[in-house]
Structure 1
Amino acid sequence: MTADRIPHRGARRQGGAAVLTMTLILLGLATFGALAVASGTLSSHRGAGTDQRGKEVYAVATGGLNHALAWFEEHAGSLAFSDDDAGGVWRSAGAGTTSPVTATAYVDKSLGTDAYDLAIEYELLSTLSATDPSDPLLVRARATGRAEGDSHVQRTVSVDLLLTRKSVFSPLFAAAIDSFSAPAVLVEDGLSGITGTPEAYPLVDDGIAIGITRGGTADVATGNLSLEDGGKVGALSGTPSLSEAVFGLSPSGYDGDGNPVGANAAEQMLRALAERHPDAVKVVDSSANWHQSLGSADEPVIVFFTEEAGCPKINGNTTIHGLVYFETRDCQANGWGKATIYGSVAFAGAPTKLSANTEFHARQLDFSYLAEAEGGGNRFALGLAKAELVRIPGSWRDF
Structure 2
Amino acid sequence: MTFPNLSLKNRQQGAATLIVVLVLAIVMAVISLTTAQTGLMEQRITGNDLRAREAQEAAEAGLEYGVGWANKNEIPNTVTCSSGSLPAGCPTALTTVTGSSTGESYSYTLTFTKGTDSIRVASAAQGVADSSIAATSEAFIKQIPVELFDFGITMPPPWVIAGCITNAPTGTPDTFVLNATNLAVISGTSSNPACLPQGHLDVTIWTDANGNGVKDSDEEGGGTTFNRGIFPGCPSTHCAWNYVFKMDFQEAIDRATDAGHVYSGSIPCGPATSSPSIYIIENGGPINSADISGNCTGTGVDSTTIGAPNQPILLIIPSDNGCPRFNGGVTIYGIIYFESETECASNGWGGATVYGSVIWEGDVDKPNANSEFIEVDHEDDFDLNTVFNSGMDDATRIPGTWKDF
TM-score by length of structure 2 reads 0.54
Q: Unaligned stretches of 5+ in structure 2?
A: 170-174, 178-184, 197-225, 291-299, 302-308
> 1:385, CA displacement in angstroms?
1.9
Q: Which residue does 1:101 correspond to in 2?
A: 94
The alpha-carbon distance between structure 1 residues 368 and 91, as it changes in their structure 2 partners (threshold 3 A), is farther
Q: What are the superposed Cα offsets for residues 265-291 of structure 1, whole Å, 9 maximum, x if unpaired? A: 3779x94861679xx999994389xxx
Q: Which amino acid aligns with 1:249?
A: A
Does structure 2 conserve the Cα–Cα contact (< 8 Å) formed by 1:53 and 1:153? yes
Counting only pairs closer than 5 Å after superposition, residues 137-286 of structure 1 correspond to structure 2 as: 138-171=118-151, 181=154, 183-184=156-157, 190-193=162-165, 220-224=189-193, 232-234=231-233, 242=241, 245=248, 249-250=252-253, 265=261, 271=268, 274=271, 285-286=287-288
Q: Which residue does 1:302 correspond to in 2?
A: 312
RMSD: 6.0
Q: Which residue does 1:385 correspond to in 2?
A: 390
Overall identity of the aligned pairs, in %: 17
Q: Which residue does 1:41 correspond to in 2?
A: 39
C-alpha distance in 2 between matches for 1:162 and 1:186? 38
Q: Which amino acid aligns with 1:325?
A: I
The alpha-carbon distance between structure 1 residues 117 and 160, as it changes in their structure 2 partners (threshold 3 A), is same
Counting only pairs closer than 5 Å after superposition, residues 105-116 of structure 1 correspond to structure 2 as: 105-108=96-99, 114-116=103-105
Does structure 2 conserve the Cα–Cα contact (< 8 Å) formed by 1:167 and 1:248? no
C-alpha distance in 1 between matches for 2:361 and 2:390? 20
Q: Which amino acid aligns with 1:191?
A: G
Does structure 2 conserve the Cα–Cα contact (< 8 Å) formed by 1:163 and 1:387? no
> 1:169, CA displacement in angstroms?
1.0
> 1:181, CA displacement in angstroms?
3.7
C-alpha distance in 2 between matches for 1:59 and 1:106? 9
Q: Which amino acid aligns with 1:310?
A: P
The alpha-carbon distance between structure 1 residues 398 and 305, as it changes in their structure 2 partners (threshold 3 A), is closer
Quick check: 1:324 aligned with 2:345?
A: no
Q: What are the superposed Cα offsets for residues 188-211 of structure 1, whole Å, 9 maximum, x if unpaired? A: 9x32347789x9x9xxxxxxx969
C-alpha distance in 2 between matches for 1:33 and 1:229? 99
C-alpha distance in 2 between matches for 1:383 and 1:361? 16
Q: What are the superposed Cα offsets for residues 104-158 of structure 1, whole Å, 9 maximum, x if unpaired? A: x4345776xx33131222322237xxxxxxxx6x433322333334434333223
The total of aligned residue pairs comes to 319
Does structure 2 conserve the Cα–Cα contact (< 8 Å) formed by 1:193 and 1:221? no
Question: What secondary structure sits across from 1:249 in the alignment?
Answer: helix
Q: Unaligned stretches of 5+ in structure 1?
A: 78-83, 128-135, 172-178, 202-208, 212-216, 254-260, 289-293, 315-319, 372-378
Does structure 2 conserve the Cα–Cα contact (< 8 Å) formed by 1:142 and 1:158? yes
1:350 pairs, out of 359, 362, 366, with 362
Q: Which amino acid aligns with 2:336?
A: Y
